[in-house]
Structures are given as structure tokens and as C-alpha cells.
Structure 1
């Protein structure tokens, strides 16, 4: 029997890795923390004396926990077409938050997380474990209840969806210039300037949550997105530039209370997607301590 103190030390060493896996699979930082905690409980109940690679064992366990959570979430959702944006990881615009950077290693941008939300639970898990964390299909197969060949096919289907729906973002300096131009044009009411920085096929996704389902929407096209930007523009001082899932974004927090988080996907010098989380309940649960704001679980 392995000493419990040793297990606790080893688990803490892998906690950041496990949280990163769970966040990519679930798209929710709160649920990711729950999945990591459940993995610790299962570790305590298991005999791992013969486990040669404890990190690999923990990775498959957290993957199994996440798959159960995804399936439970899917069974509860009445309308599969509802807009549900992943929980954003928000940090200072100049970076420098080690915990957030660890979770967002390997460039997990908003666009990728949004595409992952469209996959089946098994596809999402297979893709994340194999393509992002190099877990062999022989290890993934028992988790999803498939053969290794079938697990490979799950990841392959997911990969095609990701490549078709997650554009490669520009570097941060270029993103910042474009987002600065967008916010300046919106505040100034300059419709033509907004069109200059928006891709013609830009997609705006707004998630107000269960409290305001009538405002949750997907808007497509530069002209319609520009009109929305002018309708909901904020005065200077209410919004601030931040990093959202490793890319440029804007946090709106009048009076210090978060009202929305906007994540921008900038590719080819133009904004191709804007994802706005405005669900008060989920905003209240975000960890904004790195920005000097309250929040978090």
C-alpha cells in the first residue's frame, strides 16, 4: 500500500496538468476543478502500487470523470442548439499569471473551445487526450468503450471539425492593434471603421445564460455585428483590455462588477469571431483575482 502522504505529494505535482486536461474537455473551470477533486477521491480508493506511470493513470481517470460529466450535461440539455460558450480564463493583457498560463499552455484559444463544444462527448475526449496530450489510443479506447481503431476515428472526425472551424489566430501584438481599433470605432460610433476590422463572415456569439435566454444569440456578417457593437458600446473607463483564453479580449466591469467578457479571434488582420459571456451567474464564478477583481469559487 502506498503511503497517503506520498500520494498527496504526487497528486499535487500533477494537479495543474489534470486541471488543464479537464478544462479542455469540459470548457468550464469550475467543472474542471470538480473533476480533479473526484480524481483525487478515486486515487485514494485505488491500489496503485503496481502502476508504473502514475501521471498517465491519473490522466485516464480524469478523462473518464470528464466523459461522465459531459454525458450528464448533454442529457440535461433540452435544446442542443443553445449557445453555450466555454468558461473563459481571463488574465492581465500583459500576461504574467503563472496559473492561467499553465492551464492555457499549447494555445487553447476561444475558437478551439467553441468548436469543441460542438463535438460529441466521445469525440471531444478522444481529440483532447490524443491530439493535445499525446495519450495513446490504446489507453483512450477503454474510456470511451470503443476499440483503439474506433477511438482513432473519433479523434479524426473531431480533428476535421477543429481544422474547419478554428482559424489560426494572429500574434498578440497584431491582435491587440485590431481589438484596439474595434473598441475605438465602437466608442466613436464609426460604422465604417468597424467594417474595416471585421471579417465579412465574422460570427458573434452572445451567451446570457438561463436568466436572459431571449438575448442569447448567434449573429453572422460584418454589417450586423457592427450594428450590435454600436448598440451596446460602452464609455471609456468601463471596459479594459485583457487576455481571454490566451487571446485578446475585453472585460466590461462597471463599478468593479463584471458584466461581460468578450473574447476576440483575430486572423489575417481581421476579427473573425467574437464570443461574449454575459451570464451573471457564470461571470460571478470566474477567477478574476489576477485583475484585482472579486470572483471565483
Structure 2
């Protein structure tokens, strides 16, 4: 077996793990593919005889490619309109299982995207994939002690700002379906009963919208918004998996995707709602975009209506 064939087999064998690592670091399926291609090109220049643990070696290699990409992204931050993309599949999609192998919740992805590249790498490689700090340190170019501090800072941010689901997918689906039914009816009391007292609602319009990301906290404020805007918007929604959790997609009557919403469910209540309205994170060719740059939620006849509930 020649070297290229050996590397090709190793990449194929470990591809699911490498994709999962790269998605948590980059947040974009397109960039994940670019990272794995670059890793393949770099791997071909290595000596297989010097590699004793292919899985760890490839993870380190992908980590190095990703931190280079993150640092390049950071350098051109002002020019970017989107740095991550949601993973979405509607129920019944045969590709659903493979798509969500790489998924990480939107709430977590938003916070990961706000971290410095070295912090993001440290917490992802160590906490999520069990890589020893000595190996992570070699990737980020810090000492093991400094790398531990990076991971500790990132871990605190994630714990404070990114609640994780505490319910199985079937339980999540029941809660989200009940929330949609209450929203369609404009039933404030029913909505309030389904929301955690400290629920957080975030709406991402995208940088081109000239609108700050919407943020609401507290069950009363979120229930009021959903009761007011929900009846019209909820009629456009269909169940979906959004980054591995129960969510919805909203389409107008022409089938154009106008919003993706992910829910974080704790027990029988919703702890976070993340609404993606940014056309750069949806399908740019199908997203509804107003002349002024504000995303609009279409009415039932497919025409643009009032600003969406974000």
C-alpha cells in the first residue's frame, strides 16, 4: 500500500469524528469541507512511519487547519456577514441522521463563535473530544498551563450563556409542538406555562439587516412577543431538526425558507429560543429580503408582511 492510499483510508475511517471536530470549530459545513480538503493536502506530505496514533494525529492536523482558518476569519471579521450556518433537516429527510452527526446546538454555536480562536480550540478539543492539554497546547501554540486557562475561561462562558438540552428528542418535540399550538392561538397563558422563568430569546437578522440581534429574557416578555407575533408566524412553521434538537423551519407559500428556529428544552419547559433570519445563514437564493435590509416574515399569500418576530 502506498502512502497516499494509507492516508486516504485513515481519513475515510476517521471522517465522522474529524467532521464533528471541524464543525464545532468552524460552524460552517462549507468551511468544514474546505478544512478536511486542506488536511488531506497536508497529510500527504507527512511520513506514515512517524504516526503511531492516526486518530489523534489527524485530529491534531484538522485542529491546526481550523485555527488557521479561525485566525484568518478574525482578521477579516468586519467583512463577514455570517461565520456559521445552522444544520437543518425536515422530518422524513433520509439524510437526517448523517447530517446531524456534526450538529451542535445553536445556543452553544453562538457562544463558541464569540470566543477567541485559541479559546474555542482549547474547549472543543479538550472538553468535547477528550484531547489531552499537552496535545491541545501544541495546536494553539501555548503552554499546557496557559491552555488550561483558555479552556477554563471558555468553559465558564459556555456554562453561563449556552444552556444545553435536558430532554430527549421526543420530549423536546412534544414541548415545541405545544409551543407552536399556543403561538398559533395567541394563548399567552399556555405560552407562559411552557417557558422557563429565565428563558432567553435571540433573533439573528444578519449584519446586512442594519438591525441589532434581538434579545429578550424572561418568560413574561417572551410569551408576550410570541402571543403577539406568533399566530401569523407559527402558521408558516413545520417541524424540523435544527442542529440536532427539536426546532422548526418557516416557509412562505412559495416554499421559500424565511426562518430557522432552534429550541433548548429543559424537562417540560423551553430554556432558549434561537431564531435565524439571516439570509446568509439560510439559503441566500430563497430567503426573503426587503429593500431596506430588514428580513420580513411573509403573509400566508406569500407576500412580505410586517417584520418577523425578532
* TM bucket normalised to smaller: 0.7 to 0.9
1:147 is displaced (CA, Å) by 0.8
Residue ranges of structure 1 left out of the alignment (5+ in a row): 287-297
Matches within 5 A, 1:3-82: 3-78=3-78
Going from structure 1 to structure 2, the CA distance change for 1:152 and 1:94 (only over 3 Å counts) comes to: farther
Aligned positions of 1:70-219 closer than 5 A: 70-78=70-78, 86-93=84-91, 97-104=96-103, 108-169=104-165, 170-214=167-211, 216-219=213-216
User: How far apart, in 2, do the equivalents of 1:234 and 1:223 lie?
Assistant: 20
Higher deviation after alignment, 94-103 or 155-164: 94-103
**C-alpha deviations, 1:151-181, integer Å up to 9, x for none?**
1221122222222333342222322222112
Name the SS for the 2:119 alignment partner. Answer: helix
Structure with larger RCO (C-alpha < 8 A, sep 6+): 1
In 2, Cα distance between equivalents of 1:236 and 1:148 = 49
CA contact (8 A) 2:172 2:265 kept: yes
Indicate whether 1:274 and 2:273 are aligned.
yes
Relative to 1, partners in 2 of residues 1:183 and 1:83: Cα closer, same or farther, differing over 3 Å? farther
TM-score, L = length of structure 1: 0.84
CA contact (8 A) 1:208 1:279 kept: yes
Which sits farther off after the overlay, 44-53 or 136-145?
A: 44-53
The 3 A distance-change label for structure 1 pair 180 and 213 is same
The residue number in structure 2 matching 1:259 is 258
Is the aligned partner of 1:243 residue 2:241?
yes
Aligned to 1:290: none
C-alpha distance in structure 2 between counterparts of 1:203 and 1:85, whole Å? 22
Whether the aligned pair in 2 keeps the contact of 1:38 and 1:65 (CA below 8 Å) is yes
Query: How many residues are paired up?
Result: 281
Using structure 2 for the length normalisation, give the TM-score: 0.81
Secondary structure at the aligned position of 2:48 is classed as coil
Contact 1:60–1:143 (Cα < 8 Å) also in 2: yes
Following TM superposition, by how much is the alpha carbon of 1:85 offset from its aligned partner in structure 2, in angstroms? 8.1
* Aligned residues of 2:186 and 2:230 also touching (Cα < 8 A): no
Unaligned runs of 5+ in 2: 286-310
Distance in structure 2 (CA, Å) of the matches to 1:94 and 1:173: 15
The CA distance in 1 between the partners of 2:83 and 2:217, in whole Å, is: 16
Q: Distance in 2 between matches of 1:100 and 1:21?
A: 14
